[in-house]
Amino acid sequence: MRTAAILSALASFLFVGLDTVQTKAAPKDMLRPSAIATEEVPDVPAALWDRLRQYRSVRSATFSGWSPDGRGILVGTQLGNTMQLYRVYEPGGRREQITFFDEPVRGTFVPKAKDGAVLLTMSKGGNENYQVYLLDRLTGKAALLTDGSSRNQLEAIRPDGGQVIIGSTKRNGRDTDLYVGDPRRPDSLKMLLQTKGEFWTVADWSQDGSKVLLNRYVSINETYPALLDLTTGEKKTLTTSADGKAAYHHLAFLPDGQSAYITTDARSEFQQLARVDLNTLEYQFLNKDISWDVTAVTVEPNTGLTAFTVNEDGASALYLLRGKKSEQITVPLGVISGMKFSPDGKHLGFTLARPDAPADAYSLSIDGRQLTRWTYSEVGGLNPASFVTPKRIKFPSFDKREIPAYYYKPVHAMEGKPVPVIITIHGGPESQFQPIFSGLNQFFVNELGCAVVAPNVRGSAGYGKTYLTLDNAEKREDSVRDIGALLDWIGRQPELDATRVAVMGGSYGGYMVLASLTNFPERIKAGIDIVGIASFKTFLKNTSGYRQDLRRVEYGDERDPKMQEVFARIDPLNNAGKIRSALLVVHGRNDPRVPFSEAVQIAAKVRSNGRSVWTVYADNEGHGFVRRENRDYLDAVIAMFLQESLKGDER
């Protein structure tokens, strides 16, 4: 708990945060990485760089699985320039680094492998053409399992570790076919399922190795689960005609292989957990009393004990299920991910990301229900008591619908001394802002003295399938109108300065930033567009081939004359002349999702109207900045941009 002395000292410092102009600049070549090119961006002041140093040093650890011998866990941590893998042998023990690549890497142990082999996934320069490798822990060498050029994804590992299924676009660069083979014999990979215009993923592999659960993705609202017999090749749909179009998100075999758990919104607004007889297709729903989405399911392969999480307004609730009886387990406020049972079935491992602490690896003992923390991630020497936990708010929109959001309020914000506001908008759009730790948000609040509001505008996940579709296709700008309603809400809060508002977002959130600047040009002082969409027409034309049809379901088909009219009306590129705010545009040249050309065209169009645009482009990044040196520099530019844009009273 904060003491009065800390509050007093902190408040006096924060109050001058945005008005403190630093003039001393460190040498540019010491701050800007060589792979980054900028235009119109001033040198970063040394004092600002130093103030950010501790926030940049906040680390995290993600749980990546149990070792086959049960002696410890695997975690992902970024201690250097990129995320790498580490072994931890006991709770609170040292992290033993086992991968040393220039690129960020993800991985998991090969089940039952006595030599500790690890399957890795890596891409180059952010291009997302992932390759799969087998890391031999005895020699330290990583063998390439895929072709080295197409996009690949490790889909599933057979429970005995003898085979893997990999999704790959190598056949034509567009369709993701499924291949199966021995991970120790790269030449053994053979076609399992040729997809022919459909997008299939593998959810689980039966204990006897004879069957897999598949899911065909059309959109976040429409998927089709199936059972594939690996012996006969027979594929059986697991939906029922009575349910019509619905979403089925999480599938997991029970130990007998004759039944499975499936989550679906077929008979509800939310993703409910059902036990399904794979022979009769009888669905038995198990959590009808919970009006939130079930977000993850994992099954202990011997006992059938099941763990599942529920998204309760952005935070995770954890349950254990035996048969039909479920028990909620008390865990700290946060978001749980990556759940896996230990080889002996006595522990459940997972990542827990909290709003007041970085993500770390935890385990739960099944017998004693005791929570154990395995990693203790550093917070840069900062005082954790200074971290602000956001509170949940709602604000009414144009159609009287209540829009949920999270609000980070600086301790010194009060009537008579209103503070600037940063609206941060998530991507997706079928995603959700959740209350997990963000060093940058804490810097905004504790150092720049800004409030941060993160809305879950219509179209966000987590609030029911109806809410999820409220921004589809021609309804796209209704979500932008939600930002207008949030601006109204800010104007009603005496502690917030409605004349000093910035908007910030990445990917689809970048579109929302640009759309907000064109729709509310006199109400927003600054916008930060990170890998954002400037034109749906050009985005859908130029995004990677495997994504085009998937995105058309959400945004609308640019080949349809009616949608062409909608895009012509709402595209920020066509409305760039309305932008009056300061603008920062950020992009990676290797982005396969939102092409780099989106950044180039919006920056050029706004500049052609006589407006200044800061641009930060990285040669070795894709859809977001993941390299430490690039991200550190970008954070400093963002802080400097906000400091300059929000400090004055005049535009």
User: At 248, which CATH number?
Assistant: 2.120.10.30
Check if the beta carbon of residue 617 is closer than 8 Å to that of residue 590: no
Distance CA 605, CA 594 (A): 18
| Pairing mode of beta strands 248-253, 259-264 | antiparallel
Report, as an integer, the average pLDDT of 45-54: 90
Tell me what pLDDT residue 428 has: 83
Each residue's pLDDT tens digit, 425-458: 998 878 899 999 999 999 999 999 999 999 999 9
Q: Note the pLDDT of residue 164.
A: 97
Q: Are residues 536 and 615 in the same domain?
A: yes
Q: Is residue 371 included in any domain, yes or no?
A: no
User: Residue 446 domain-assigned?
Assistant: yes
Could you tell me which residues come within 8 angstroms of residue 202 by beta carbon, excluding any fewer than 6 positions away? 155, 156, 165, 167, 178, 212, 213, 214
**Do 419 and 443 fall within a single domain?**
yes
Given CA atoms 210, 213, 218, 224 in this order, what sign does their dihedral have? positive
Higher-confidence residue of 365 and 323: namely: 365
198 has pLDDT over 50: yes
Residues 331/333/339/343 CA torsion (nearest 10 deg) = -30
Q: Residue 20 above 80 pLDDT?
A: no
pLDDT (average), residues 304-332: 94
Total structural domains in the chain?
A: 3
pTM here is 0.86
For 478-525, what is each residue's pLDDT tens digit? 999 999 999 999 999 999 999 999 999 999 999 999 999 999 999 999
Structure tokens at 199: 């997008």
Q: Mean pLDDT check: name the lowest of 30-39, 333-342, 580-589, 642-651.
A: 642-651
pLDDT-based confidence at 643, cuts 50/70/90?
very high
Is the residue at 459 inside a domain? yes
Q: Under a CB-based contact definition with an 8 Å cutoff, are residues 225 and 213 in contact? A: yes
**Per-residue pLDDT averaged across 134-148, rounded?**
94
Whether the per-residue pLDDT at 19 is higher than 70: the answer is no
Across-strand partners of 213? 204, 227
pLDDT at residue number 24: 44
For the ranges 27-36, 142-151, 262-271, 544-553, which has the lowest average pLDDT?
A: 544-553
In a domain, 28, yes or no: yes
pLDDT tops 90 at residue 543: no
Residues paired with 422 in a beta bridge? 452, 502
Q: Of 146, 169, 195, at which residue does a domain stop?
A: 195
- Banded model confidence at residue 645, pLDDT cuts 50, 70, 90: very high
126 falls in which pLDDT band (50, 70, 90)? confident
Position 334 in a domain: no
Is the pLDDT at 544 greater than 90, yes or no? no
Indicate the helix (H) or strand (E) that contains 128: none
Average pLDDT of the residues of the chain: 90
- 458 and 571: one domain? yes
Percentage of residues of the chain with pLDDT beyond 70: 94
Instruction: Report d(CA 38, CA 596) in Å as an integer.
Output: 14
pLDDT given for residue 241 in this prediction? 64
Q: Are 171 and 233 found together in one domain? A: no
452 and 580 share a domain?
yes
Query: Residue 9: which CATH number?
Result: 3.40.50.1820
Its sign, for the CA torsion 515, 519, 521, 526, is negative
Is residue 29 scored above 60 in pLDDT? Answer: no
Domain of 168, in residue numbers: 113-195
Residue 97 lies in a domain: no
Q: Which of 27-36, 232-241, 328-337 has the lowest mean pLDDT?
A: 27-36
Q: What is the mean pLDDT of residues 2-13?
A: 32
Do residues 23 and 47 lie in contact, with contact meaning Cβ atoms separated by under 8 Å? Answer: no
pLDDT in tens, 548-604: 776 776 677 778 888 888 888 999 999 999 999 999 999 999 988 899 999 999 999
pLDDT given for residue 648 in this prediction: 58
Do 281 and 137 sit in the same domain of this protein? no
pLDDT band at 5 (very low <50, low <70, confident <90, very high): very low
Q: Would you state the pLDDT for residue 210?
A: 97
**Is 69 a domain residue?**
no
Section 28-39 average pLDDT: 83
